Chain A
């Protein structure tokens, strides 16, 4: 059976969980506690030497790139297709996922982790933080954690991320003013890719994600939140995302589906 080693149903970590629930594919979920830096510990590094979540293992293949892994899940398992048939629509889906993965999601991650994670390191012993940093395999990840632990992310970088996120919200709202889902008439991996990071925005970015400022994006967020598969995925984890997602559903008026 397919196994997912990951943290919460959130961003890259959550993409396989959302995808598997939408397909109705059974799987085994191994919770990786990022708060306790388990993803940089020997147990997880034996599965993924890069120390990044998620890691998805199936038939001896270990997949650590979440977007290509979603395409794998869609190809390898039965269930509702999550990619449009038409090659041009597929191109749109993939370009949008690339934009999300390379531009929007890292910007949101920079903003969120500086707001929520960085303050937690204040007052910790710098020597101990350095030892934690040394365990991070990828140099680009290490650089990111170093900025968080020592609260040294340049202000202008955070401002640039804010600009990019606002720009993306406008862009997605405009796409969704013309079509039901992000890659056309049918729900696709592009919707999962964006929802995995955007599900909480009506709460955490209320100022630009609301019915006046981005009505089409809000219509789409409600439609995503109402999907039983996505709701079931959001209920996984240790409760941290589940509670936040339930609060968002209350705020935007989406009812609870029967627990899967």
Chain B
């Protein structure tokens, strides 16, 4: 039996749930409250020492890293295929999966933290001491407040992401061509937050967001797509 640990407000969780719905797979769900930092509770850290969601348990194995989970689900439940039906589409889907992790998610988290006035309630601060060093350091930076250089760099990264999405959507319906892939699904829950945070997107990208929003798999989780002031992956430290 599969068990998914996820949280409303977590874009990475939303991507996994969209893939599950596209495949018609219904795992047991464990919902965490990241607004109140349940992901840093000793109980959850005992399950996942990274203190992140989503986490998929399958047959006693624990899988983290959301794009790698999406690929695992696609290979375990091949119908309908979502990585793309030729190597070119697969490459584009994986390129976007990577771009979400290295650019979109880390910088969106920083912009979001500033836009929403992120804070950690005193009672939740003890949780930060339980994290692995890299995660704890990132949260401490957030608590100190990101400097204007970092905020500008992160805002520019969001504009660049919008331009890159528009470039790949030129003349196509989905990022990798005529069929939706894991690339669209990985990006969508992040890009869907841009509007609420006042981040502009090119028209073509807005039209793609609207197409994604119509899918029943997205409709089913639309209440969970709101932004929460939590950290994402660590921004790149060296080029």
Contact = CB atoms under 8 A, between A and B. Distances in A.
Interface of A: 59, 61, 63, 65, 67-69, 71-72, 75-76, 87-88, 90-91, 94-95, 98, 101-103, 106-107, 109-110, 138-141, 143-145, 157, 160-161, 163-164
B103 to A, nearest CB: 9
A102 B90 CA distance: 21
Contacts of B238: 106-107, 109-110, 144, 161
B157 to A, nearest CB: 8
7 contacts: A59-B88, A61-B88, A87-B72, A103-B134, A144-B238, A157-B237, A164-B134
A94 B65 contact: yes
B91 A102 contact: no
A167 to B, nearest CB: 9
A68 B83 CA distance: 12
B161 to A, nearest CB: 13
A150 B193 CA distance: 38
Interface string B57-75: 0100101110111011001
- Nearest 6 pairs of A and B residues by beta carbon: A144-B239, A68-B94, A106-B238, A87-B75, A75-B87, A76-B87
Interface string B137-155: 0000000000000000100
A90 B71 contact: yes
A139 B153 contact: yes
B222 interface: no
A102 B101 contact: yes
Nearest to A68: B94
Nearest to A108: B238
Interface in B209-234: 233-234
Contact of A139 (B69, B95, B156): B156
Contact of A106 (B90, B94, B157, B236): B236
B172 interface: no
A110 B87 contact: no
What does DSSP make chain B's interface, helix, strand, loop or mixed? Answer: helix
A64 B236 CA distance: 17
B86 to A, nearest CB: 8
A91 B63 contact: yes
A63 B91 contact: yes
A145 B61 CA distance: 41
Contact of B65 (A63, A90, A98, A143): A98
A107 B58 CA distance: 32
A95 B65 contact: yes
Contact of A65 (B94, B157, B237): B94
B68 A98 contact: yes
A71 B88 contact: no
Nearest to B97: A68
Contact of A91 (B71, B133, B234): B71
Given A94-B68, A98-B68, A140-B239, A69 B91 contact: yes
Nearest to B56: A91
B136 to A, nearest CB: 12
A21 B76 CA distance: 30
Contacts of B63: 88, 91
Given A98-B101, A106-B237, A68 B95 contact: yes
Given A72-B90, A102-B233, A106-B238, A65 B72 contact: no
A118 to B, nearest CB: 13
A102 B236 contact: yes
A67 B95 CA distance: 9
A85 to B, nearest CB: 9
Given A88-B72, A139-B156, A75 B236 contact: no
B98 interface: yes
Contacts of A109: 238-239
B92 to A, nearest CB: 8
Contact of A95 (B68, B98, B153): B68
Interface string B151-174: 001001100000000000000000
A88 B101 CA distance: 21
B4 to A, nearest CB: 15
B228 to A, nearest CB: 23
Contact of B75 (A90, A106, A144): A90
Contacts of B233: 102
B64 A65 contact: no
A88 B94 CA distance: 18
Contacts of A63: 91, 95
B129 to A, nearest CB: 18
A145 to B, nearest CB: 8
Nearest to B157: A139
